[in-house]
């Protein structure tokens, strides 16, 4: 087919999508009504079986009633081809806007993803799997209006599932698709999470060669944004619920994603009545009056931490990347140890879940507290110990404290909040992060009390596999400690932890000294990576075995604890919903 050809009363004007997986998309003019439409055509030679499948999909898409899915106008056969026309969308792909303007601000990214989620919800509820959710399928009308109005092109849904994989963009492909599974609502949600990451950071979650990207989809930890603001926590909640490796661990529906964003006031473009949830949604404030369109300047997105970065893309200006000392680094200990503990099988038990989920995710900026956090003696102690124990030229972030309480006031967007400076004495978990200037080394000193409703796990005194080792050893004072190494591939990160395990019988807290080494060559073995460590085991042991770090827990928070609710499958009584 070529420009100017007439097909079923439509004159082809512009090819919008080349023939892939059996269909091609054109911008066309419907001659009878002289209106612009988007025309989907199958390749020549469609037989009865192909026609039946195409017609069934076309009818299903036609039943979708959502302002975020272009409506179907007509479908049928034109010679040896099948066609479907939809309302033309005069919009720009979000990928083009990101390339031109950079990452979106949090509010705009959340509004875009919420509308895409509503479109997917409408498709899924009509029995249609989209199968190709990517920045090229997300169309933005009037991008200078904040928030923009978004539509999701549904033409990919007209491709037979078994024909899709080869044509799908690898950067947005769910792990099970790489293993041969057919597209599903769950794979659409995974792709939605990838689109959200691209909106926030300006790039897919993982980049590099096809092999490294595929490996990252299958094995790399879920990428998270650094920081502790409400926007960052909300974004990470969506990313966690969409990008889980196991489809069963993702959000139950796209509607859930949209409702999560609606509850937090991020969605202004509301669905039509026909596209409302089947169950009553939480009330939302009415949208403010539409303001005159204002130009949106290029926006810088949040400082992200991509869990996998096999290669570094060239800078747009062609200049070399700055050396590490010029890059603002955020402490990644929380995310990295999360993967480490999951893979090791848990040597540290309940309390290290504090490091797993509550670990530092921001760098120098500390908790938003009233007053100086170091006015608290516990914070001052952690700072003094870290200044003595961390290598010279380590830049300290602000110390912070959290509580295992699941009371509503303590949980913010699914995570225990950082306590205010005057609340430190009510906490049961305290941390002092730092990163070594000019290097990829980061450190953390953590003291935490184990909640009594979670039993600490024992160290497996062995080499678990080529990427994980755990060993018990005795310090000079005769205390039994654990020494753990974990390599997180393909991110090139290695985690070294020396831990004083908690003692529930005496109330002794757990004390952990962690060194994280980032951006190592992936080809290094764990034994070779260990040679890159700056602080040795004996020095770490001296720190965690200090008597002055045996911080008391005078007023234990109520149970159930956050740890039990999130890490013990049988614990549900009294646990609030929505915990991360």
Provide the CATH topology of domain 6-87: Phosphorylase Kinase; domain 1 (3.30.200)
Check if the beta carbon of residue 404 is closer than 8 Å to that of residue 428: yes
Task: Evaluate if residue 492 carries a pLDDT over 50.
Answer: yes
Average pLDDT, the chain: 75
Tens-place pLDDT, residues 250-297: 999 999 898 887 654 343 333 222 223 223 333 333 333 333 333 332
Check if the beta carbon of residue 349 is closer than 8 Å to that of residue 457: yes
Share of the chain above pLDDT 90, in %: 27
The mean-pLDDT minimum among 53-67, 132-146, 271-285 falls in 271-285
Task: Evaluate if residue 12 carries a pLDDT over 80.
Answer: yes
Domain 92-279+296-311: give its CATH architecture: Orthogonal Bundle (1.10)
Give pLDDT, residue 33. 85
Which band of pLDDT confidence, cut at 50, 70 and 90, is reported for residue 301? very low
Same fold, 6-87 and 92-279+296-311: no
**Highest mean predicted confidence (pLDDT) among 233-237, 268-272, 332-336, 513-517:** 513-517
Q: Which tokens belong to 162? A: 């078994």
Give pLDDT, residue 298. 28
Which band of pLDDT confidence, cut at 50, 70 and 90, is reported for residue 465? low
Q: What is the mean pLDDT of residues 153-167?
A: 52
Give pLDDT, residue 207. 86
Report how far residue 61's alpha carbon sits from residue 137's, in angstroms, rounded to the nearest whole number.
15
Check if the beta carbon of residue 293 is closer than 8 Å to that of residue 271: no
Task: Evaluate if residue 340 carries a pLDDT over 60.
Answer: no
Give pLDDT, residue 267. 39
Please compute, for residue 99, the number of CA atoms within 13 A of its CA located in the half-sphere on the CB side.
7
Give pLDDT, residue 195. 95
Give pLDDT, residue 174. 93
Task: Evaluate if residue 158 carries a pLDDT over 80.
Answer: no
**Highest mean predicted confidence (pLDDT) among 183-192, 522-531, 560-569:** 183-192
Q: What is the mean pLDDT of residues 86-115?
A: 87
Tens-place pLDDT, residues 373-387: 888 899 999 999 999
Give pLDDT, residue 307. 30
Report how far residue 296's alpha carbon sits from residue 266's, in angstroms, rounded to the nearest whole number.
17
Domain ranges of the chain: 6-87, 92-279+296-311, 326-567
Burial class, 11, CB count within 10 angstroms (exposed 0-12 / middle 13-18 / buried 19+): middle
Q: What is the mean pLDDT of residues 485-500?
A: 80
Which band of pLDDT confidence, cut at 50, 70 and 90, is reported for residue 569? low
Report how far residue 388's alpha carbon sits from residue 381's, in angstroms, rounded to the nearest whole number.
11
Check if the beta carbon of residue 333 is closer than 8 Å to that of residue 433: yes
The mean-pLDDT minimum among 39-53, 416-430, 431-445 falls in 39-53
Q: What is the mean pLDDT of residues 133-153?
A: 79
Alpha carbon separation from 221 to 170, 189, 299, 342, 489 (Å, rounded): 17, 17, 27, 10, 9
Task: Evaluate if residue 138 carries a pLDDT over 80.
Answer: yes
Check if the beta carbon of residue 12 is closer than 8 Å to that of residue 4: yes
Q: What is the mean pLDDT of residues 461-468?
A: 67
**Highest mean predicted confidence (pLDDT) among 202-211, 347-356, 396-405:** 396-405
């Amino acid at each position: 087919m070529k420009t100017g050809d007439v097909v079923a009363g439509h004159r082809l004007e512009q090819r919008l999508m080349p023939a892939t997986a059996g269909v091609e998309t054109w911008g066309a003019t419907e001659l009878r009504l002289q209106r612009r439409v988007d025309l989907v055509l199958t390749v020549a030679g469609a037989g009865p079986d192909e026609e039946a499948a195409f017609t069934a999909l076309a009818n299903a898409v036609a039943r979708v009633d959502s302002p975020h899915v272009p409506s179907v106008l007509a479908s049928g056969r034109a010679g040896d081809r099948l066609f479907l026309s939809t309302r033309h969308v005069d919009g720009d792909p979000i990928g083009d806007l990101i390339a031109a303007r950079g990452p979106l601000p949090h509010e705009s990214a959340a509004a875009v993803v919420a509308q895409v989620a509503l479109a997917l919800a409408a498709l899924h509820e009509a029995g249609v799997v989209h199968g190709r959710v990517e920045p090229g399928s997300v169309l933005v009308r009037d991008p200078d209006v904040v928030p923009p109005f978004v539509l999701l092109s549904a033409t990919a849904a007209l491709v037979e599932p078994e024909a899709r994989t080869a044509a799908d963009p690898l950067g947005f492909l769910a792990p099970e698709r790489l293993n041969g599974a057919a597209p599903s609502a769950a794979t659409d949600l995974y792709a939605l999470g990838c689109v959200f990451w691209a909106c926030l950071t300006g790039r897919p979650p993982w980049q590099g060669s096809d092999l490294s990207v595929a490996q990252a989809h299958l094995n790399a930890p879920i990428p998270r944004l650094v920081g502790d603001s409400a926007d960052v926590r909300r974004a990470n909640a969506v990313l966690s619920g969409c990008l889980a490796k196991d489809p069963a661990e993702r959000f139950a529906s796209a509607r859930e994603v949209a409702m999560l964003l609606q509850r937090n006031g991020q969605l202004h473009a509301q669905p039509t009545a026909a596209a409302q949830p089947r169950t009553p949604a939480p009330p939302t404030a009415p949208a403010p009056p539409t303001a005159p369109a204002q130009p949106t300047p290029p926006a810088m997105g949040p400082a992200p931490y991509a869990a996998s970065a096999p290669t570094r893309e060239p800078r747009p200006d062609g200049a070399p990347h700055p050396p590490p000392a010029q890059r603002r680094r955020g402490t990644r200990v929380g995310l990295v140890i999360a993967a480490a503990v999951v893979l090791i099988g848990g040597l540290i038990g309940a309390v290290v879940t504090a490091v797993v989920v509550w670990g530092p995710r921001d760098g120098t900026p500390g908790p938003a507290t009233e007053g100086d956090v170091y006015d608290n003696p516990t914070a001052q102690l952690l700072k003094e110990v870290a200044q003595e124990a961390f290598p010279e030229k380590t830049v300290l972030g602000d110390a912070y404290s959290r509580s295992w309480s699941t009371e509503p006031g303590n949980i913010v967007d699914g995570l225990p909040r950082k306590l205010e400076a005057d609340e430190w004495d009510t906490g049961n978990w305290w941390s002092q992060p730092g990163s070594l200037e000019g290097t990829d080394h980061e450190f953390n000193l953590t003291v935490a009390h184990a909640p009594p409703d979670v039993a600490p796990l024992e160290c497996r005194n062995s080499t678990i596999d080529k990427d994980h080792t755990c060993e018990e050893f005795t310090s000079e004072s005769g205390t039994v400690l654990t020494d753990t190494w974990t390599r997180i591939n393909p991110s090139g990160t290695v985690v070294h932890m020396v831990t004083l395990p908690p003692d529930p019988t005496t109330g002794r807290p757990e004390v952990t000294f962690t060194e994280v080494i980032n951006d190592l060559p992936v080809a290094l073995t764990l034994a070779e990576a260990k040679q890159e460590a700056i602080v040795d085991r004996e020095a770490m042991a001296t720190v965690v075995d200090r008597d002055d770090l045996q911080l008391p827990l005078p007023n234990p928070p109520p149970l159930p604890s956050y740890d039990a609710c999130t890490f013990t499958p049988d614990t549900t009584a009294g646990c609030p919903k929505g915990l991360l």
